[in-house]
Amino acid sequence: MPDVVPATSGAAVRWATARLLAAGVPSPRVDAESLLAHALGVDRPETRRLVVLDRALPDGVAVRFAADVERRAARQPLQHLTGVAAFRHLELAVGPGVFVPRPETEQVAQAAIDEAVRVVAREGAAVVVDLCTGSAAIALAVATEVPGARVHAVELDAAAHGWAARNVAAATGDGVADGVVRLVRGDARTALRDLDGTVDVVVSNPPYVPPGAVPRDPEVADHDPAVALYGLGDDGLEVPRGVTAAAARLLRAGGLYVMEHAEVQAAAARAMVAAAGGFDAADTRDDLTGRPRMVVARRSAGAGTPAGGRANRDRLIP
């Protein structure tokens, strides 16, 4: 911590921005304002107003703020320090033990949302499955943005499942009706057998990093759980292959599969979907930065529906 803790909001943000810049933090000013907002218990627009006015900081705030700035300079994730992560219009609780959702995954969610909207417009309701849900970011984005969608979210890891349960509980009654999101602790490869052949959209941001590819950012390499990063196998696609097989099992004929991957895995991801069988030709779509980051494929029209599948779907959609 500095020898003299800045006593006003303007001085505090200027000091923190310089400290974080020197530490190599990619967005030092934004992070400085976010940490001060967290320390003050206000939003960032109010923080900016206080900075312009250079208001004195309340007792104890400056010390807490400076301590958080030092933790951020040591490359602890901003979201772990504030306890929340923004995802689309959501504010999710996150911390150690769960993958912090990234802006690029918002496009993966968008693909699932767009398809669910089309299905609801056509049929009045949609069944969506989010495999490897983590914090439940994608599941809750679909649930809150697509009236008429029923979402089933699966997470195996106990710590991540705990964070997902917290977020689902917080959303229930606050824009999400009770029962709209069903959270299941289980293996994404084998869970939700009761939905086989009935699902309109399967979406997933599974672990996919190859074993030798260590993430560059310390926030990811040192703080995101390895179970949420590394997809196993020489190519990092062992877990995604299991997720893809589950999607083929769950989807009805014509249903859509959307999965995030690394930009270097685009061709391999398309080949993985082709090898799974039962899908039309897979496409690669870009994220907001123009990088190829997701594979999208539709379940073949000739794909069979398990016995009782239609009845299960009718039971699940009120």
Q: Which of 133, 160, 127, 164 is nearest to 146 (CA)?
A: 127
Q: Which of 103, 249, 140 is nearest to 188 (CA)?
A: 249
Please state the rounded mean pLDDT for residues 120-138. Answer: 97
Cα→Cα distances 210→91, 161, 216, 237, Å: 30, 23, 13, 7
With 0-12 / 13-18 / 19 or more C-beta atoms within 10 angstroms meaning exposed / middle / buried, residue 152 is buried
Supply the pLDDT for residue 126.
98
Burial of 23-47, coded b for 16+ CB within 10 Å and e otherwise, reads eebeebeebbbbbbbbbbeeeeeeb
DSSP state of 281: P
Is the pLDDT at 316 greater than 70? The verdict is no
What tens digit of pLDDT does each residue of 15-25 get?
A: 999 999 999 99
Show me where the domains of the chain are located: 9-74, 105-316
Please state the rounded mean pLDDT for residues 265-287. Answer: 95
Q: For residue 30, what are its two tokens? A: 């934004």
Give the integer Cα–Cα distance in Å for 129 and 287: 21
Give the integer Cα–Cα distance in Å for 117 and 122: 9
Is the pLDDT at 315 greater than 80? The verdict is no
Distance of CA 288 to the CA centre of its chain: 15
Is the pLDDT at 313 greater than 70? The verdict is no
Asked if 194 and 312 count as a contact pair (C-beta separation under 8 A), the reply is yes
Strands in 199-204's sheet, in edge-to-edge order, are 181-185, 149-155, 126-131, 199-204, 251-260, 292-298, 283-286
Is the pLDDT at 222 greater than 80? The verdict is no
Supply the pLDDT for residue 37.
95
**Mean pLDDT, the chain, integer:** 90
Is the pLDDT at 311 greater than 50? The verdict is no
Enumerate residues 6+ apart whose C-beta is below 8 A from 87: 101, 105, 106, 109, 135, 137, 141
50 CB neighbour count, 10 Å cutoff = 22
Please state the rounded mean pLDDT for residues 237-264. Answer: 96
pLDDT-based confidence at residue 308 (cuts at 50, 70, 90): very low
Supply the pLDDT for residue 307.
45
Give the integer Cα–Cα distance in Å for 277 and 144: 32
User: Where does 105-316 sit in CATH, by number?
Assistant: 3.40.50.150
Coil, strand or helix at 146: coil
Is the pLDDT at 183 greater than 50? The verdict is yes
DSSP state of 172: B
Q: Per DSSP, which regions of the chain are E strands? A: 84-87, 90-93, 126-131, 149-155, 181-185, 199-204, 251-260, 283-286, 292-298
Which amino acid is present at 120?
V
- Percent of the chain exceeding pLDDT 70 equals 92
Supply the pLDDT for residue 218.
81
Q: Which pTM does this prediction carry?
A: 0.89
122 CB neighbour count, 10 Å cutoff = 10
Supply the pLDDT for residue 174.
74
Is the pLDDT at 171 greater than 50? The verdict is yes
Give the integer Cα–Cα distance in Å for 259 and 263: 12
Give the integer Cα–Cα distance in Å for 279 and 256: 9
